[in-house]
Amino acid sequence: MHFFKPIERIMNVLNCLYRLRRIFIAVMLVALVHWIIRYGTHDVGIKNTGRYDGHVAATGYDQFQSRGEDKRQVACIQPHLPVWSDEIRRFQKSCTPPSCGSQEDWIYTKQSRFYISEEVEKKVGKIECVYTAIVNVDNYTNRVMETIKSMPNGSILKSDVFKVSCKSSKGFKYNNIHACIAKTEPRSVKVSRTRYNVVIFGFDSVSRNQMKRMLPKTHTYFTKELGGHVLNGYNTIGDGTVSAFVPMLAGRKKPEMLKYMDTRKTKHADDVLDFVWRRFEDQGYITQYGEDWFPNLHTFYFKLEGFRKQPVHHFLRPYILEAAKDKVLGKLCLGKKRSYSVVFDWLKEGILTNQNRPFFTLAFMNEYSHDSNQCFGLLDDPTKDFLSILKTTENYNNTFVFLISDHGMRFGGMRNLEFGKLEERMPYFGIVVPSNFRREFPSKYEHFQENTNRLTTPLDVYKTLLDLLGEKEGIADIKERSYSLFDRITDERTCADADIERHWCACLTWNNVSICDMNVTTAADAVVKHFNTLLTHVKDRCHVLTLSKVVKAVQLVSNKEVLRFKETVDWRYEDMTAKTKTDFLYYQITIETTPGFGLFEVTTSVNIRSGKVSVEADSVSRINRYYDDPACVVDEYPHLAFYCVCKKK
């Protein structure tokens, strides 16, 4: 095989020279057409319909034209960033797990009742507890309700938060604050259609790739075991959590909310926004919403004044207020548990308590990922375990599960590089569509699957939630800024169409480059090597592939506004003074391999410093038919059908 390598190189050079001749002719033809359009339209009767952008083959018109202008711009191409690289590993630091205490809970709650642990009683003796119910008064105040000096085992809970002080017959003591789910009666509503449950939970500052890096078991379980789909074109539309939550939960952008607040002289979110959970309540749902972290840092309390009324039936904030007051809210801990454990337990209790009633549940965890993703990996097993428990609930087949983030990391060393800025704009957002919905609405599910690779935003999620309630009608229109994910979203959608500001748009523009460019040929060789690596364990059945030729190559480039954006000042003004470093070059190449004459379209990244090429599994498309070439492996290894050309058919 080594004997033929120089010959292959010579053939590639000759092929490049031949292609350059064709490109030269194409340039001349384009120049001629340009001259006719510019100077001779009146004479020859040709209508000037647009502008020529200077590339050999049209690379498209400005991605950010305002609506109503010429619509012939390129569709959104989001970057296929490497999940791992040497540069990325430099920013991944080890975590020292927090120690939150070792005392186990003496009491637990279930189905809106209070129970004393039999297992603990075996160790410490007979337990007697003083129970004090706590209810919320306003955004920063709780009120202590009745105190029961000896709370009977199995008693009905009086509120969603309580303090407990217990003693055992052997002299041991236990004091704690507990979050729970007290019984709530939903609004009585007659609805003829199916009501689907909604569970939305996620983590602050986690990009699509960071979830795959830090929570690999969770991502695999979510996509493979639960059949969840990740929105590969999901793009944030502003800075911070509020810019993700306001459009997702109320259908407005943050600047619109601030304008309404200025007009009405208020900072209460529910004074100016119609939150979607209210609409769910109107249709008989039980609602639940909670965040961990310090009370003044919660999404609608940072620079805002929260809600004028308690927003949902079950609200975790009163528990957080009480924990902060009693100083049991520590770094990564809530009392004697890690904060994520408290949130997951509270989520599970709400879902299990309301199994026979429709529910809307939202939980967002900040502590382990906002300031740093360093300890985020600790949540991999707990998150996977929560999903596995959710799968066993009796109404799982009727429940939408959203695993989400608001944006990627907004500060730190990685954020100062180009790929870090792009990741900031590409948060993880995954959805499990329940089997009952797939059967009832097969066409909607088909549209949803297509839309996982379309440009989407938090505004689309809001429309989707309304769609689940039956409150959205009509067909998606490109002139609208938001669609339901169950409508067909066009692949011609741009950031301008989706109302994404220029400096938040992760879509790349593309420029044609020579197929003889050194980075292109290096990437092409690396891609074929990657294919052969995938075929290693079946090399006795499949031919080794070789590069026949590079058919086409384009370079994908971030828009300059993304690279210049530094931060948002006081929520209202953009600082555009950043000088972001570029560490990667992105290419989309079309190659032909032999034997079999397979045509592949592949998106790759080339590290500027090391020259290393990254190829992600989901960035490879086979664009011609392979017929029965992979017949020897297709049943056993269907994922290799793209690449394998069997030695014996």
SS3 at position 42: helix
Q: Which of 498, 518, 514 is closest to 506 using CA atoms?
A: 498
Contact 403, 222 (CB under 8 A): yes
CA 144 to chain centroid, in Å, comes to 40
SS (H, E, C) 193-217: CCCCEEEEEEECCCEHHHHHHHCHH
Question: For tokens 């505004």, what's the residue?
Answer: 459
Q: Which of 142, 213, 648 is closest to 409 using CA atoms?
A: 213
Q: What is the mean pLDDT of the chain?
A: 84
pLDDT of 581 reads 67
SS3 at position 164: strand
List helix spans (H) across 45-162: 86-90, 118-124
Instruction: Report the alpha-carbon distance of residue 224 to residue 208 in Å, rounded.
Output: 16
Q: For residue 179, give every residue at least 6 positions away whose Cβ sits within 8 Å of its Cβ, in sequence order, or none.
A: 160, 161, 290, 316, 319, 342, 345, 346
- What are 553-576's pLDDT values in tens digits? 988 887 766 656 666 665 555 666
Q: For residue 596, give every residue at least 6 positions away whose Cβ sits within 8 Å of its Cβ, in sequence order, or none.
A: 543, 545, 626, 629, 645
Per the rule left: phi > 0, alpha: psi between -120 and 50, beta: everything else, 233 is alpha
Strands 197-203 and 399-405: parallel
pLDDT of 611 reads 84
* Mean pLDDT on 442-447: 97
Residue 385 CB coordination number (10 Å): 15
pTM of the model: 0.77
Instruction: Report the alpha-carbon distance of residue 235 to residue 455 in Å, rounded.
Output: 7
Contact 394, 388 (CB under 8 A): no
pLDDT of 193 reads 78
Is the pLDDT at 184 greater than 50, yes or no?
yes
Q: Which of 375, 349, 347 is closest to 362 using CA atoms?
A: 347
- Which tokens is 71 given? 């619509």
* Mean pLDDT on 159-174: 96
CA angle (422 as vertex; 603, 225 as ends), nearest 5? 70
pLDDT of 578 reads 67
Strands of 55-112, DSSP E? 107-110
Residue length of the chain: 649
Lowest mean pLDDT among 7-16, 268-277, 383-392, 507-516: 7-16
Of the pLDDT bands very low, low, confident and very high (cuts 50, 70, 90), residue 276 is: very high
- What are 607-633's pLDDT values in tens digits? 887 888 888 767 788 989 899 999 999
How many CA atoms, within 13 angstroms, populate the side-chain half-sphere of residue 304? 24
Contact 406, 427 (CB under 8 A): yes
Is the pLDDT at 34 greater than 50, yes or no?
no
Question: For tokens 């004479």, what's the residue?
Answer: 43
pLDDT of 508 reads 84
- What are 477-515's pLDDT values in tens digits? 556 899 999 999 999 898 889 999 888 888 887 788 999
Contact 492, 507 (CB under 8 A): no
Contact 582, 559 (CB under 8 A): no
Lowest mean pLDDT among 22-31, 148-157, 267-276, 320-329: 22-31
Given CA atoms 549, 453, 392, 437 in this order, what sign does their dihedral have?
negative
SS3 at position 525: helix
> Cis before residue 595, ω within 30 degrees of 0?
yes
Residue 244 CB coordination number (10 Å): 27
* Mean pLDDT on 400-404: 98
SS (H, E, C) 121-144: HHHHCCEEEEEEEEEEEECCEEEE
Burial of 436 (C-beta count, 10 Å sphere; 0-12/13-18/19+):
middle
